[in-house]
Structures are given as structure tokens and as C-alpha cells.
Amino acid sequence: TGSARDFLPERLSLPTLRSAAAGCHGCPLYRNATQTVFGAGPSSARLILVGEQPGNDEDIAGAPFVGPAGRVLDQALEQAGIARDDAYVTNVVKHFKWERRGSRRLHKKPSAREIGACLPWLEQEIELIRPQVLVCLGATAAQALLGRTFRVTTMRGQLIANDRVPHVLATVHPSSILRQPTSADRRAEMAKFTADLEVVAGVLN
Ligand code: URA
Ligand code: SF4
């Protein structure tokens, strides 16, 4: 079976990676998606934010975290005093995986095989940017980068030393805040998410 590794360009830079990823057939997910959603942000970024995979809006726009989850992320970053434009924002899996529910396309969790197939893109993004801090947004990113036994619930908000990046911090996925049943729950989860990002701001400043 294939992987993104078969599609890596010979000369590695963010622009060559991005254009190579646009033609990636490393797993079957490209078939039902509109386009590859590669990472976005400056190559000089000191912070990388890693989500799971593009959602419906990202699949259409071709950019990461531009939909409802992206708005939650933007708000929390602003409250934590982090400029999103200075960060590099990306996902573990670069194509939108979905199933039809009436007229809607519902997000489906990527499989371990799809995550493994796509990981070479993220590994190269990290290698080229060499950030000071990497934030895993949710369990998919945390387990892909920190191991399958990693638990966000017990380790969130803690700075973790890592062989790839000086500091890694895992927190919840912003869409988990949108799924909270009441506005009081959403407010409480948003405060915790923002507090985790304030830890990140402390390392960056
Ligand atoms: N959720 C993600 O994990 N990534 C996006 O880019 C959008 C929603
Ligand atoms: Fe390639 Fe990743 Fe898309 Fe699969 S999800 S086709 S590995 S870019």
C-alpha cells in the first residue's frame, strides 16, 4: 500500500511540498475530497498548530481552519495573545474524509492507516519550519505525534519535551468546544482551551 512518501518532491521546501501534496494519491482519501488542504503560514513561524483533517469548509476553501472550528481557534488565540498570522497552521491528514447525511457532508474520523499514510507531509512541514512550539489540537494530532497511548485528558496544557521540537503541548480540538451541550459548558471549555494556549504564549514570549 502507498503513502505520501511516494509523492515527496526531490528538493524539499514548503512550496515544493505544497505543490507535490496537491497531487498526492498516497491513500484513498483524495478520491472524495475537493482538494488537498496543505498547511498555511510563514516558514519562519515559531509555532505550529496541528489539527486532525480539513472539514467541509476547508475542503472547499483549500485552507486549514477557516470554518466554525477555525473561528473558535481564532478567538482563543486572540484571547491568549497569539497572532494567528505568525503561526503555521496545518493538519495530520490533508484530505477531508466524510460521509453523506442527507444534503450534508459529515466529518468521519481518519483511520490509523490513513494517518500513517499522510504523516510524511506533516513530518516534512515540521522539519522545514523547525518551530519552537508545536500544539496538538485534539487526540488525533497528539497520538500521531506523541504515540497511541497519549491521553489529552490527563496531559493537556503541559509542556512536553520532544525530539522534533523543543516544546510540544497538547490540548483539545476546537470543535469539541462547539459540541458542548450548553453555552455554560462552551464557556467553561473555551476558558480551559484559552488557558492552554496562554501556556504556549508564555514559551513564545
Ligand atoms: N478541523 C481540523 O482538524 N482541521 C481543520 O482544518 C478544520 C477543522
Ligand atoms: Fe495523500 Fe494524505 Fe490525501 Fe491520503 S489524505 S491522498 S496521504 S494527502
As a whole number, mean pLDDT of residues 117-126 equals 98
Tell me the per-residue pLDDT of 30-72, one tens digit each, with 9 for 90 and over.
999 999 999 999 999 999 999 999 999 999 999 999 999 999 9
Q: Which residues pair with 104 in a beta bridge?
A: 101
Domain extent listing, the chain: 4-204
Residues in Cβ contact with 35 at an 8 Å cutoff, skipping those fewer than 6 apart: 22, 59, 62
The residue to mutate among 29, 35, 49, 52, having the most atoms of ligand 1 within 8 angstroms of its beta carbon, is 52
The residue to mutate among 56, 173, 177, 193, having the most atoms of ligand 1 within 8 angstroms of its beta carbon, is 173
Domain 4-204, CATH class in plain words: alpha beta
State the pLDDT confidence band at 90, using cuts at 50, 70 and 90. Answer: very high
Residues in Cβ contact with 163 at an 8 Å cutoff, skipping those fewer than 6 apart: none
Residue 93, pLDDT score: 98
How many other C-beta atoms are found inside a 10 Å radius of the C-beta of residue 44? 10
Residues in Cβ contact with 46 at an 8 Å cutoff, skipping those fewer than 6 apart: 86, 131, 132, 133, 204
Helices 112-129 and 139-146 sit at what angle, rounded to 10 degrees? 70
Among protein residues, the one with the nearest Cα to ligand 2's atom 4 is 27
Res. 27: pLDDT tops 80: yes
